[in-house]
Structure 1
Amino acid sequence: MTTTTAAWTANDRDRSWSSPDQDDAALDFHRSLAGYEPTALTPLPELARELGVAAVFAKDESTRLGMPAFKALGASWAVHRALESAQAGTDAEVVTATDGNHGRAVARFAREAGRPARIFVPAGGIHPSAVAAIRGEGAEVVELEANYDQTVTAAADYAAANGGVLVQDTAWEGYEEVPGWIVDGYSTLFREIDAQLREAGRHAPDLVCVPTGVGSLLQAGLAHYRRASAGGDTAVVSVETEAAACMGPSLEAGHPVTVETGQTIMSGLNCGTPSSLAWPLIRNGLDAAVTVSDAAAIDAAHRLADLGVAAGPCGAASLAGAREALTGADAETHRRHLRVDADSVVVLTITEGSEANPVPDA
C-alpha cells in the first residue's frame, strides 16, 4: 500500500524481503585505479540539530576519481566491462546519452581506454559548462531537440546502427547487462559509508536520502541495504525534482510509470521513466519517495555551502528531501513511517559538487 501527499509517497514495503548479497569485483576494480580513495563522509552537527536527529553525515562525491560526481564509479566499471565483453572493433565508439555527469564520466573512461566517445544530450537540458566538460574529455557531443528519454533512444539507435558500444545508465527490456554493471559500480559508495561510519564509532545509518533520476544509484543503495546480512533496518528515501517525479506515481500504480518532464536546475534528475532494472528493488525495498522544488534544492545547496560542503543542486536535493521528510508538513507521520527519532543517524548522498552544476544565488 502507498500513501501519498503533495510531495511524499510512502511505500509499505515487505520488511522480510531481501536482495542478494554482492561480490567485491567492482570495489576491487576501483581500488586498483590511480587516484582512488574514499570520498569524504562529513559530519554536520548543525544539520542534526535542525533535523532533530543524533547525527547527519554528508557523503561528498565532489571529488570522485578526479571528477565532480559519483557517476565516475558506475561509468568506470561499466566501460571496463563493456569493452571487455564487446565483440566490436578496437576503434568502436563508446556511446551514451546524458542529462548531466554520466556523459562526462563515460567520455573520461572511454578516453583512458583509448576509445572515441559520442555523447548525446538534450539541447538546453544541461548546463553549458557540463557540455563543455564533456567536450573537454575529447568526446563528440550530439545535442538533440528532445527530452531525456528521447535522447536515450537516439543514442541506442545510433550505437546499434554504427557498431558502437552503448554504456547507458538506464535499463529497458533487452538492455540490462550494462546498466547492471553501472549499478554494481555505484555499490562502492555505500560500502565506503559503512566503513566510514564504523570508523566514526557510529552504527549503520537509520536513513539514507538518495537523489534519483532513473533510479540506478537508488537501486545500488537498495541492493546494499536490503541484503539479508544488512538487517534491512536502514530506511531509504528517493528524492526527485518535482519537474520529473516518476517514483511516486510508479509506486502508486504498482508498475513503472513515465511522466512528462519539465525544466529544472536539477538536470541530472530530469528523467521521466524509472529504470526497469531498478524497479523490482524500488517496489520491494524503497521506504518513501519525496519530491522537491528548484527553490528548495538551491536553498539546501547554500546551506551546505555554509557548512563547507560545495554541493550542486542535484546533490543538495538530498538535504532538501530530508528537510521535507523530517521537518515538513506531516513530519511526525513521516518520521514514524521511516522509524527516525532523536537517536537516528542520517546520511545525505551529495551526488555532485557545485563544479558539476553551478548553483545560482538564492
Structure 2
Amino acid sequence: MVTAPASLARSSWFARPAARDWTCPPAPRDVAAFHRTLPGHAATPLVELPSLAAELGARRVFVKDESARLGLPAFKILGASWGVHRALCDRLGLAPGGTSLADLRSARPDVRLVTATDGNHGRAVAAMARLLGLAAEVCVPHGVHPEAVAAIKAEGAAVTEIPASYDEAVRAAADAAAVDPSALLVQDTAWPGYERVPQWIVEGYSTLFSEIDEQLAEVGAAPAGLVAIPVGVGSLAQAAVTHYRSGQSAPTLLSVEPDAAPCVLASLHQDRPLTVRTRPTTMAGLNCATPSTLAWPVLRAGLDAAVAVTDASAARAAHDLARLGVAAGPCGAASLAGARAALAPDRRPLLAAGHGETAVLLATEGRAANPA
C-alpha cells in the first residue's frame, strides 16, 4: 500500500464505463433468509421522491432509507449479524444453515467480540453481543461523537477510546484480539491474512440490494440504472458491485466519498490501492484512509464511477432530504450530493443509459447517528 500524491487525493471524479461489462458470482442465497429470523426484521423503506427526479433529470428517483434497520440507525447490522453468526458457527464447528441464534445462545460460547468503529458498525456488533449474551469490546478513534460512544455503551459493550485515526483503532482492535484466546475479531475491513470475517460481513449487506430489486418491482419501476453508494473502506460498495454485476442489469454504480478522505477514488485513478492523508469531515463514518483489501479488486473491476463531495454539499443534501421526509445524516446524504455531482452535463454521457429511468440513492444512516 502506498500513499497517494496530493494531486490524486484532490481529484473529484472518475469514470470507466467498461466496468459495467464485468461479471462475478452472486452473494449466497441464504443471507436474506437468515435476516428474516432476526427479531424485528422488516424491509426498510424505498422512498420515491419526484421532486428529486425532476432536479436530477431522471424519470424516477428512490431513496433507500436505512435510518431504522432492525432497531438501529444504520444498515451496518445486516453485515454485523451475518458476520457474527458465521464466525461463531465457524468457531464452534456448527453448520450455519442449520444453526439459529437460539442455538448459539444455548451453546454459551466462551467468546468476546472485538471490533473497531467510527460508530454504527461497533454499535451493531455490540447489539449482536447483547442478543447472544456475549461480552464485547469496541475500539473507537478520535473524533467519534460522544452520543455514538454512549449508544455503543448502552448496548453493554466496553469502549476503548483510541486517540488516533480510524486505521489506528482497527490496529488496536486487532492487537487486542490477538492476545486473548477468547476474543473473536469482527471487523468490517480486510487486510492480508484477515479476510474471511470481512467477506461474511459484505455478504450480509446483500439483503439491502435484494430488497431494492423487490421494492422497485412492486411499484412498477424499471430496474436501477444508477445506484449511489457512500463509501468508507468500500465494503458496502463491494456488496453493491457483487449484486449488480451478477444479475441481469448493469447500472452505473457510483461511489461517493468525502473530499477529505477519497481513498477509493484516488486508488481508481492510480489503478492500485492507495492510502490517502485524511482531514476532518462531518462524514465521519466515511473518513477512511485505505480501501479494504477484500473490496479493492471488486471495486477496481466493477465500479464504473466515483466522485468526492464536500462537507457543504453533504449538509445541503441532508437538509433537502429532511425537507422531503427522509432523515439522513451527512454520510447517508452523501449519496444525493454525489448524484448531483455525477449528473453534471459533462459527466452524464459516461453513465449507463438507464440512469435517466431509475436512480437509487442509499441513505445509509439516520440523522442522529454518527455513521460508520
Which TM-score bucket, shorter chain as reference?
Answer: over 0.9
- Structure 1: which amino acid aligns with 2:31? A
Q: Pick which of 333-342 and 42-51 moved more.
A: 333-342
Aligned to 1:143: 161
Between the aligned residues of both structures, percent identity stands at 56
Picking from 56, 59, 71, the partner of 1:54 is 59
SS at match of 2:366: coil
C-alpha deviation, 1:239, in angstroms: 0.3
C-alpha deviation, 1:65, in angstroms: 0.3
Verify the 8 A CA contact 1:245 1:272 in the aligned structure 2.
Answer: yes
Aligned to 2:103: none
C-alpha deviation, 1:114, in angstroms: 1.0
- Structure 1: which amino acid aligns with 2:292? S
Aligned to 2:300: 283
Mark the runs of 5 or more structure 2 residues left unpaired by the alignment: 1-7, 94-107
Picking from 138, 148, 153, the partner of 1:119 is 138
Aligned to 1:72: 77
Verify the 8 A CA contact 1:52 1:341 in the aligned structure 2.
Answer: no
Aligned to 1:238: 255
- For 1:231 and 1:26, locate their aligned partners in 2 and report how far apart those are by CA, in whole Å: 20
Aligned residues: 349
Aligned to 2:350: 337
- For 2:19 and 2:313, locate their aligned partners in 1 and report how far apart those are by CA, in whole Å: 31
- Structure 2: which amino acid aligns with 1:115? L
Aligned to 2:282: 265
C-alpha deviation, 1:92, in angstroms: 2.4
CA RMSD of aligned residues (A): 1.8
Equivalences for residues 1-362 of structure 1 within 5 A = 6-86=11-91, 90-123=109-142, 125-163=143-181, 164-227=183-246, 230-326=247-343, 331-340=344-353, 343-357=356-370
- For 2:275 and 2:257, locate their aligned partners in 1 and report how far apart those are by CA, in whole Å: 14
Verify the 8 A CA contact 1:42 1:57 in the aligned structure 2.
Answer: yes
- For 1:8 and 1:344, locate their aligned partners in 2 and report how far apart those are by CA, in whole Å: 22
Mark the runs of 5 or more structure 1 residues left unpaired by the alignment: none
C-alpha deviation, 1:232, in angstroms: 4.5
SS at match of 1:86: helix
- For 1:295 and 1:211, locate their aligned partners in 2 and report how far apart those are by CA, in whole Å: 16
C-alpha deviation, 1:261, in angstroms: 1.4
- For 1:208 and 1:4, locate their aligned partners in 2 and report how far apart those are by CA, in whole Å: 23
- For 1:92 and 1:85, locate their aligned partners in 2 and report how far apart those are by CA, in whole Å: 12
Residues 147/5 of structure 1: CA separation in 2 closer, same or farther (3 Å cut): closer
SS at match of 2:36: helix
- Normalised to the residue count of structure 2, the TM-score between the two structures is 0.90
Verify the 8 A CA contact 2:225 2:354 in the aligned structure 1.
Answer: no
- For 2:355 and 2:51, locate their aligned partners in 1 and report how far apart those are by CA, in whole Å: 14
SS at match of 2:308: strand
Verify the 8 A CA contact 1:52 1:342 in the aligned structure 2.
Answer: no
Q: Pick which of 230-239 and 203-212 moved more.
A: 230-239
Verify the 8 A CA contact 2:66 2:366 in the aligned structure 1.
Answer: yes
SS at match of 1:333: coil
- Normalised to the residue count of structure 1, the TM-score between the two structures is 0.93
C-alpha deviation, 1:187, in angstroms: 0.3
Could you list the per-position Cα deviations for residues 261-303 of structure 1 after superposition, in whole angstroms to 9, with x for gaps in the alignment?
1111111101110011111111110011111111111110010
Could you list the per-position Cα deviations for residues 209-245 of structure 1 after superposition, in whole angstroms to 9, with x for gaps in the alignment?
0000000000000000000xx2342110000011110
C-alpha deviation, 1:342, in angstroms: 7.8
C-alpha deviation, 1:153, in angstroms: 0.8
Residues 87/37 of structure 1: CA separation in 2 closer, same or farther (3 Å cut): closer
- For 1:69 and 1:134, locate their aligned partners in 2 and report how far apart those are by CA, in whole Å: 13
- For 1:238 and 1:333, locate their aligned partners in 2 and report how far apart those are by CA, in whole Å: 18
